[in-house]
Amino acid sequence: MKKKEDEFELLNNLPEEARDPEISKDDFKLVTKDTTIHEQKFQTKPTTFFKDCLRRFRKNKSSVVAAVILGLLLLLSIVIPAVSPYDVSAGAANTGFEYLEPKLFNAGTGFWDGTRKYKDYSVDISANPTAKTDEEKQKDWWPNETFVRSAISKKEFSDEKYTDYVSDFGKGGFLRHSILKSIKEEAEYAELRTQEITDVLDLSKETVLITAFDTYDFDKIEKLPDEKLQKFDSDYELAKVGLDLVAIDMDGDDEVKTYYPIIEPKVVHNIGSAVSSMSEETVNVGDALSESGETRTKFERYYFAVTIKNERDEQNKSSLIHSWTFDVVGNDALKAKLCDYVSGDKVNDGASFTDATASGRETLYLDQAKTALNYGYLVSSNAARQLFMSKGYFVSFVYDTYEAKLGTKWKERISVSDLDQWSTAKVTDKNPWGVKLMEYNISTKKNSSGKYVLDTNAFYCHILDERCPLAQELRPEDIYVDPYGISKSNPLGYEVDGYITMYKYYGYEEMPKFLLGTDKNGKDMLKYVFDGLRWSLLLGIISSAICFIFGLIWGAICGYFGGNVDLIMERFTDILSGIPWIVVMTLVVIHLGSTFFSFALALCLTGWIGTAATTRTQFYRFRGREYVLASRTLGASDARLIAKHILPNAMGTIITSAVLMIPGVIFSEATISYLGLGFRNLNSLGIILSNNQPELKQYPYLLIFPAVIIALLMISFNLFGNGLRDAVNPSLKGEDE
């Protein structure tokens, strides 16, 4: 040690002739400026694998947003079904809450307020026969029996205008009888016909007259104003149109139709769908048949039809019929079915018409429905019916679905059981507050005639709490007393009518709000969607976890060992993957039922194959790397090489496919639900979409919200998987931020 120190002493190492006597040993001192000896100072800090992954994941902003969205959806799928009081189980039906629109704000704000907008809705403004002006008529307007007047606001009436579709309260017009390209192959004729008649017709003894058969001729069309001509559809061509008596005879077990021309078919003029007039004169059916050389006069099964010959070309064909009326002499039964006539206070519209709107309806409304003896007088066979130039009034308005369903209504009957529950302080299904909401007394007595009447002296009704469902206190006129007293159908001898506030009747203190609306069964869509999301996520996570673990093991063995092991295992995989997944699903559901377990099992039977293939590819990629060979040389076992050296390096790609497996499972479940193989006793996003698919046109919100959730899941899982791939990739470890 002493020798080493002397080697660094400058004075001792200098030759004698070079020493300066003025310089001493004390003038030199060894100083160490840095205790750490290295080429360059480290710029990184020590960290763990998890922290390093988290840092890299945070660098991908889209993945962070996706993770937040997935976390929020997962949280909502747990919290909302747990705290929401509404029943959305598979068989639940909440009467009175059907088809409520999404609502967050109060009605009238115009956005997300539980209202629907109706535009140009056909209305009857002739309900008040004494009204002389449109303003007076509009005071009593009424669309139809499905609307509640108190729920309608912001009414805007249109001027009288024409329509080309069936309008409940339209007047006049022409019936367009059309044979369409879509039904060309179904029959030789397209028919607008009466119903089949079985009253025997003997033309040798009875007379049937066609008193009017008027189509629209070319000259009339040329004189129409432009706004009416715009209703014609240029996709229609000339047609051969005739009027026939069609007899139905039996040939063994087969029906045979024979067409007997009454008015010969001819090619008619056409502008769009309009045709020329064929006949406006009275035609005797018997004479017309005789003139054509037909000798048959007796028919047992038959009908009358306006026919268009099916020429099986590529064009639509149609005729416009303005009127078609009959008269029958000598056969009262046939007259009752074919002719317009009045019998006492009843009106029979028969098989004829002069109002195309009435003929185009499948049902009749209001007064017509009350007086018509036969309302199905015209039917279409292999043809379509539309209207042209029907005239009517229309209104646009805003309809509050909550007021209509849950507002104050005249309830035809109020059960005494309900009144008793409201009158006690016990908690019941109709009195969830356990507070005495009202008090009343209803009793009957016999009058001088010996009949039962209401005892008005003892009668009273008082509302004690604002939560009482009664909108107003009962009055004596709201009580119907059976004059004959107690009976089986009326065990108390009286019945009660009155106004009820429906949301209070269902046990709510305030008008409820459903953020996403309700479906046809009255289920709250907010809870319904997130309850379905919960089961869909549970199915996706469990199935994906099982498929991931099994696929990882299978693929690791194939890729690491290779050779015959890989060859045998891959052939088994090929056979299994060759079976269509829908077949596997169907077989499992048939044998095990549509349960959560059977769905998970069907998904796991073949779902692991993708993960196995990805893992196998990655193991083939990394098993020959230098660090793997070095570890094997140092004596590392196969298990250690797989778990410690190859798998961590391959995990980035594998984990991405595994994460994307979850939305894939959810999407597969949604797809299979459309085929009727969905869950039976559980909700899922696929079941919700399947059940509400028919409602897309009228209630689009029923499909929009679950579809948005599925879209968010697919996009978020994709972005989250990309971020996770970069985070767990060992080759990126230690990168600068």
Query: Does residue 375 have a pLDDT over 50?
Result: no
Q: Using CB atoms within 10 Å of the CB of residue 345, give its burial: 0 to 12 exposed, 13 to 18 middle, 19+ buried.
A: exposed
* Residue 396: count of CB within 10 angstroms of its CB: 14
- What percentage of residues in the chain have a pLDDT greater than 90? 18
Element spanning 256, H or E: strand 254-267
Mean pLDDT is highest, among 526-530, 600-604, 626-630, 662-666, for: 526-530
pLDDT tens profile 303-325: 998 888 777 777 777 777 777 88
Rounded mean pLDDT, 13-38: 62
Measured CA to CA in angstroms, residue 493 lies from 258, 448, 455, 511 at distances of 63, 18, 12, 35
Structure tokens at 181: 């390209």
- Concatenate the DSSP letters of all residues of 57-68 into one string: HHH-HHHHHHHH
Question: 3-state class of 421 per DSSP?
Answer: helix
Q: What are phi and psi of 396, to 5 degrees?
A: -110, 135
Confidence at residue 16, expressed as pLDDT on a 0 to 100 scale = 65
Query: Does residue 364 have a pLDDT over 50?
Result: no
Inter-residue contact 105 to 113 (CB < 8 Å): yes
- Dihedral through CA 679, CA 681, CA 682, CA 683, nearest 10? 80
Q: Identify the band that residue 127 occupies on the pLDDT scale cut at 50, 70 and 90.
A: low
The span from the CA of 483 to the CA of 453, in Å, is 6
Question: Which of the two residues, 540 and 126, has the higher pLDDT score?
Answer: 540
461 strand-pairing partners: 440
Inter-residue contact 709 to 684 (CB < 8 Å): no
The span from the CA of 279 to the CA of 214, in Å, is 6
Query: Does residue 177 have a pLDDT over 50?
Result: yes
Rounded mean pLDDT, 82-106: 87
Domain boundaries, the chain: 103-164+389-407, 174-388, 409-505
Question: Which of the two residues, 590 and 223, has the higher pLDDT score?
Answer: 590
Query: Does residue 277 have a pLDDT over 60?
Result: no
Inter-residue contact 445 to 452 (CB < 8 Å): yes
Confidence at residue 271, expressed as pLDDT on a 0 to 100 scale = 32
Rounded mean pLDDT, 624-643: 84
Confidence at residue 374, expressed as pLDDT on a 0 to 100 scale = 40
If you average pLDDT over every residue of the chain, what do you get? 79
Question: 3-state class of 551 per DSSP?
Answer: helix
What's 730's DSSP letter?
A: G
Query: Does residue 51 have a pLDDT over 60?
Result: yes
Query: Does residue 39 have a pLDDT over 70?
Result: no
- Token look-up 């984990």 returns 655
Question: 3-state class of 264 per DSSP?
Answer: strand
Q: Which of 427, 409, 415, 508 is nearest to 468 (CA)?
A: 508
Q: What are phi and psi of 270, to 5 degrees?
A: -145, 130
Query: Does residue 622 have a pLDDT over 50?
Result: yes
Confidence at residue 279, expressed as pLDDT on a 0 to 100 scale = 47
Confidence at residue 248, expressed as pLDDT on a 0 to 100 scale = 94
**Which of these ranges, 263-272, 344-353, 568-577, 642-651, has the smallest mean pLDDT?**
263-272
Those residues with Cβ within 8 angstroms of residue 510's Cβ, 6 or more apart along the chain or in another chain: 503
Radius of gyration of the chain (CA): 42
Inter-residue contact 396 to 156 (CB < 8 Å): yes
Q: Which of 174, 150, 154 is nearest to 164 (CA)?
A: 174
Q: Which of 413, 423, 428, 391 is nearest to 167 (CA)?
A: 391
- Concatenate the DSSP letters of all residues of 3-64 into one string: HHHHHT-HHHHS-GGG--TT--GGG-------S---SS---S----HHHHHHHHHHH-HHHH
Q: Which of 403, 240, 232, 229 is nearest to 309 (CA)?
A: 240
Those residues with Cβ within 8 angstroms of residue 232's Cβ, 6 or more apart along the chain or in another chain: 271, 272, 273, 274, 388
The span from the CA of 495 to the CA of 418, in Å, is 12
Confidence at residue 36, expressed as pLDDT on a 0 to 100 scale = 59
What's 641's DSSP letter?
A: I
Those residues with Cβ within 8 angstroms of residue 27's Cβ, 6 or more apart along the chain or in another chain: none
Inter-residue contact 560 to 646 (CB < 8 Å): yes
Helix count and strand count (H, E) for the chain: 24, 26
Rounded mean pLDDT, 77-91: 87
Element spanning 636, H or E: none
Inter-residue contact 267 to 206 (CB < 8 Å): no
Query: Does residue 402 have a pLDDT over 90?
Result: yes
Query: Does residue 731 have a pLDDT over 90?
Result: no
Q: What are phi and psi of 282, to 5 degrees?
A: -65, 135
Question: Which of the two residues, 585 and 71, has the higher pLDDT score?
Answer: 71
Those residues with Cβ within 8 angstroms of residue 533's Cβ, 6 or more apart along the chain or in another chain: 73, 76, 77, 685, 709
Structure tokens at 470: 């009664």
